[in-house]
Amino acid sequence: MVEITVKYQGELRCEATHTPSTRTLQTDAPVDNQGRGESFSPTDLLATGLATCMATILGIAARREGWNLDGMKVRVEKHMTTEPPRRILRLPVEIWFPTRLPNAARAECERLAPTCPVALSIHPEIEVPIAFHWPAAGD
């Protein structure tokens, strides 16, 4: 169990504290939902959680298998519904791998990414397409 506490600071801003580490982060409502958009919104954090979770799961596999994924990049886009109720509609993810891996390793990465805990926790109505980008031969 991990405890996270949130203090509402007013003006649609919150500060969240990760109790085990005492690290904090701020959220702000997005501009299109009455906020200033000066920090991550709560739905941005969900998208961020998805991308970092996929990177972490792949990093665990890389450590176990001896692959070097240092420099891997993950990009996620958050698309919201335009009609009420306001919710996340799509979270397309792109993953760029820094080095070539054997075909079996590539297949394992492509199998593992969508099985990260955040991806498995996202409601099935939210589309989560994943594009994998591997270096070309000779790179």
Q: Where are the domains of the chain?
A: 1-40, 41-139
Domain 41-139, CATH class in plain words: alpha beta
The percent of residues in the chain predicted with pLDDT above 70, rounded, is 99
Per-residue pLDDT tens over the stretch 93-110: 999 999 999 999 999 999
User: Chain-wide mean pLDDT for the chain?
Assistant: 96
42-82 pLDDT, tens digit per residue, is 999 999 999 999 999 999 999 999 999 999 999 999 999 99
| Of 85, 81, 82, 106, nearest in space to 96 by CA | 106
Q: Which residues contact 71 (CB under 8 A, 6 or more apart)?
A: 98
How confident is the model at residue 137, as a pLDDT? 74
d(CA 29, CA 40): 8
How many CB atoms within 10 Å of residue 53?
Answer: 19
